[in-house]
Structure 1
């Protein structure tokens, strides 16, 4: 999340006198009432305040304060939207892909400020009045390491490669950093950590290994799993050392022991990871090219020599590199590819951002890379039935329970994601309710936001909640009281849930409709424990490395919640270190 305070971004207009002259009205009249004006709108996480300074002829500067917006999304959207408005002297600008809500809030706030100034809003929204600003074509580059993708795996790889003294560039096709990591909500799994020790939690890497293999139906690559569990605790220390403060630990489905490390206030882990890594990359002055698409890998005599890419204006250029790290994510947003590999997911929505299209897998296949577990695709059980927006597993870890449309429990809520998803899909309408209360809301910042943003219904009593849910009040009340008795006795006699964190003896109560959506593609490129991409003969492809959801083998047939962040940071770091160390 953002640091306490406000996100404030100032972009100053630096156009020539010719541009200024073009911005004046044909009649020579002043376009604006010179001065500074303010507009306020609502973004994804709260108020967005735009402070706009005008001369008589132009929009001179825009300052955005957006305390509630995730920094990786809010800041990226602000910088790009502001630059678009100022450079074009127009409100006919596009929202930033991947940050649509934040972008639209910024545009609205600026519009309201301009209305306060008495500006001609219709003219400013007319595309015909935009000033077209030419952009320079990206030149060819020659670096030690090129990282394709700027999610947690890609950024971790870039940080480590830079720390090894190598020149690094990141190519990111989206307009903002972070990829799917921006959407990661729960936490990061690791065993035998200093955080667990401070909290009195006894865990072991052996149990972590066994839980991960069991969750993956024992088809995981044992060597990759062992590498994950051996080094995840180091990754927790590493990311906390960069400022993440993952100091709370909760239990997720499929875990024998609480080992999911999350921010102290229960806020989503992904934005925190993206923020601290992006800050580190800025400090180290690592070059990052946004809206830049890798098209194909450059190969010569069986060795990867770089990548061909296109810039923002679709101009082609090349990046020559001694090592290439693929961190392009999975293919959860590519419905055709999902169905190609597993037809059971036809018609599913997805929790993935729109850039998760499997491009890295296709590029690597074209140079002979092998795939593994490619048909293994996971649904997240608790997503919004209309939009696919994901509700963190931490709500269940904090005590949340699942209720069907008849007002009854039907599953151990902390079963693995595949089991819970299957159970929900078997219920009426393939929809259930995730039920929580105020006690949980106070300790889980993510849950508080879901409620604030109107994703569920509420009631002061079970009867009130049942009415809002449109379920039988008597049945729901009986279900909740029965569950309270299980909590009191320390034994879930109905479904065997071990973690009984909340008895629901006090309201207010909340119920969020949920259904499964495509969430994680466990299969991908076959790698070894050094994150080297392997060909179909099992040999490393020289110069090619991969980490994160673009790879397969770590999670088997089902990923445990919290293992994704552990994966992307641990193997991202390994990929960066190996890519740097194997440069001749």
Structure 2
């Protein structure tokens, strides 16, 4: 179905859109969202006119979604606006808190402290170099001014952490042909690497030290517009009761719809059967509210999955324990698809893998030599101890022959044996059918080990809504919807990266950076309306 037909279908047949969505409806309350109509269709006369009506609370700016949206709260407060933040979870942090332990940022003080050098130039990183790399990886399908603005905010964020004494370290982040460590993570007091929660805890503390009013366990149901199409407030549900909050500007930073299987089935059927890496709250609330107000989709793409080994619980993973191939040296490790065959170079970062290449499930095969490597833990977030425990528990299987390994994985023994043989021959000859570099290959020798993984989807970022470089949400005519801004993950991606997922931490970093832009501009708009 074309983009135009899909949007036309939404406008005339909403009931059909949510058909079969009982699971999602329970989480979202779809029926309550129907009141905020597009500007060219009939208004909800019971709520459209707000002049003189009573409100339960009010602020210059309301921010919906307090993951990356916390940055919008901070920016709006700094700009002099009164702010109310709304979060349907019991704590701030959102998907970022449990999903991403890396933030992409260029030319930071942390990089200088680590001595990070661009191998192409032998010099320290610069914003200009990062902008050029980003535009190249996005194949030019991005807004250069927005790229520079977001990268600058990312740099500022990391520098503020370093200035506050946070132990921020750097690493390569899978950005194609960019050999410089622009990935940032936080080291905890115990000396171990922290997850995304370390970043969001800092932001939450900063938010709590502002004048902003924060409403947790509160779900935004819909945006309220006046007859002229200007936002006038938000309808929420808190403690089982409906409330109306007046606002001159609203930032929607609710993230994507990765945990909404009904939406994924419609818009990303290639992701059927994939797990969800992140929060069960990623239900597409913001998409529903904004589409009901006449917002326009930016476009569709095939989502690149991340291969995760985390156990699946109710279709939702709490962390993204993806395998790391590209940071290792010579490795006796290969990936097999559901037919027992290799179909890609294992050293290719997941950020550059088309979802069509992977299948559910998939298998990671390595040998004793690889297991004995003290630096090998199979995937990020694991230790050698956790890997050995997985083998002991039988989660990672062990076999003395390729045929026995295949049987444990319910694969064809002849196929698996032939794939291992071909890989070994390629390692000996220094060539690979899938272009894997010879210096990353080492022949597999028994005993063999294998883990079962699955494709996990951590973001629907390229199926986002249209925004401009001021973070204003655009309607189907390309015009800003007055007072409505898009922040957090998913609202910015099309202008930011085109149809590409460019680097680990690119989503988290931009969710912060773009939310700053959204909060700052929302505050300026709100204050101009006084």
* TM-score between both structures, scaled by the size of structure 1: 0.64
Q: Which residue of 2 is the match for residue 261 of structure 1? A: 184
1:166 has 2:81 as partner: yes
How many pairs does the alignment contain? 438
Q: Deviations over 1:421-444 (max 9, x none)?
A: 43332xxx6412175745335898
CA distance in structure 2 between the partners assigned to 1:364 and 1:158 by the alignment? 19
Match of 1:312 among 230, 236, 239: 239
CA distance in structure 1 between the partners assigned to 2:485 and 2:101 by the alignment? 27
1:523 has 2:463 as partner: yes
2:306, 2:457 within 8 Å by CA — same for their partners in 1? yes
Superposition deviation, residue 571 in structure 1? 0.7
Match of 1:422 among 341, 347, 356: 356
Match of 2:336 among 386, 404, 417: 404
CA distance in structure 1 between the partners assigned to 2:364 and 2:400 by the alignment? 16
CA distance in structure 2 between the partners assigned to 1:384 and 1:509 by the alignment? 21
Structure 1 residues 241 and 545: alpha-carbon distance in aligned structure 2, compared to 1, 3 A threshold: farther
2:335, 2:346 within 8 Å by CA — same for their partners in 1? no
Q: Which residue of 1 is the match for residue 56 of structure 2? A: 140
Superposition deviation, residue 517 in structure 1? 2.6
Superposition deviation, residue 181 in structure 1? 0.6
Q: Which residue of 1 is the match for residue 277 of structure 2? A: 351
1:191, 1:233 within 8 Å by CA — same for their partners in 2? yes
The equivalences for 1:357-396 within 5 A come to 357-375=283-301, 377-384=303-310, 386-387=312-313, 389=317, 390-393=319-322, 395-396=324-325
CA distance in structure 2 between the partners assigned to 1:443 and 1:385 by the alignment? 15
Q: Deviations over 1:79-126 (max 9, x none)?
A: xxxxxxxxxxxxxxxxxx9xxxxxxxxxxxxxxxxxxxxxxxxxxxxx
Structure 1 residues 274 and 508: alpha-carbon distance in aligned structure 2, compared to 1, 3 A threshold: farther
2:64, 2:252 within 8 Å by CA — same for their partners in 1? yes
SS of the residue 2:451 aligns to: strand
Q: Which residue of 1 is the match for residue 511 of structure 2? A: 568
Please identify, of 383-392 and 296-305, the stretch whose mean Cα deviation from structure 2 is larger: 383-392
Q: Which residue of 2 is the match for residue 579 of structure 1? A: 522
CA distance in structure 1 between the partners assigned to 2:279 and 2:160 by the alignment? 26
CA distance in structure 2 between the partners assigned to 1:482 and 1:170 by the alignment? 59
Structure 1 residues 502 and 327: alpha-carbon distance in aligned structure 2, compared to 1, 3 A threshold: farther
Superposition deviation, residue 294 in structure 1? 0.7
CA distance in structure 1 between the partners assigned to 2:352 and 2:63 by the alignment? 32
Q: Which residue of 2 is the match for residue 178 of structure 1? A: 93
1:340 has 2:266 as partner: yes
SS of the residue 1:372 aligns to: coil
CA distance in structure 2 between the partners assigned to 1:168 and 1:323 by the alignment? 10
SS of the residue 1:396 aligns to: coil
Superposition deviation, residue 575 in structure 1? 1.5
CA distance in structure 2 between the partners assigned to 1:492 and 1:191 by the alignment? 35
2:153, 2:516 within 8 Å by CA — same for their partners in 1? no
1:555 has 2:497 as partner: yes
Superposition deviation, residue 498 in structure 1? 6.5
The equivalences for 1:98-247 within 5 A come to 140-151=56-67, 153-197=68-112, 198-202=114-118, 203-206=125-128, 208-213=130-135, 215-216=137-138, 218-241=140-163, 244-247=166-169
Superposition deviation, residue 538 in structure 1? 2.6
Q: Which residue of 2 is the match for residue 454 of structure 1? A: 390
CA distance in structure 2 between the partners assigned to 1:485 and 1:183 by the alignment? 42
The equivalences for 1:483-562 within 5 A come to 495-497=434-436, 511-521=450-460, 522-551=462-491, 552-553=493-494, 554-560=496-502, 561-562=504-505
Superposition deviation, residue 516 in structure 1? 1.3
* TM-score between both structures, scaled by the size of structure 2: 0.70
Q: Which residue of 2 is the match for residue 299 of structure 1? A: 225
Superposition deviation, residue 147 in structure 1? 0.8
Match of 2:374 among 426, 433, 439: 439
Superposition deviation, residue 526 in structure 1? 1.3
Unpaired stretches in structure 1, ≥5 consecutive residues: 1-96, 98-138
2:258, 2:276 within 8 Å by CA — same for their partners in 1? yes
What's the Cα RMSD here?
4.0
**Structure with larger Rg:** 1
SS of the residue 1:302 aligns to: coil
Structure 1 residues 482 and 459: alpha-carbon distance in aligned structure 2, compared to 1, 3 A threshold: farther
CA distance in structure 2 between the partners assigned to 1:163 and 1:507 by the alignment? 61
CA distance in structure 1 between the partners assigned to 2:99 and 2:377 by the alignment? 20
Superposition deviation, residue 149 in structure 1? 0.5
RCO greater where, 1 or 2, for CA within 8 Å and sep 6 or more? 2
Superposition deviation, residue 225 in structure 1? 3.0
Unpaired stretches in structure 2, ≥5 consecutive residues: 1-26, 28-54, 119-124
Structure 1 residues 477 and 187: alpha-carbon distance in aligned structure 2, compared to 1, 3 A threshold: same
Please identify, of 183-192 and 497-506, the stretch whose mean Cα deviation from structure 2 is larger: 497-506
Q: Which residue of 2 is the match for residue 126 of structure 1? A: none
1:252 has 2:177 as partner: no
CA distance in structure 2 between the partners assigned to 1:262 and 1:495 by the alignment? 31
Superposition deviation, residue 305 in structure 1? 1.8
2:218, 2:238 within 8 Å by CA — same for their partners in 1? yes
Structure 1 residues 412 and 268: alpha-carbon distance in aligned structure 2, compared to 1, 3 A threshold: same
Q: Deviations over 1:406-426 (max 9, x none)?
A: 59684143245352643332x
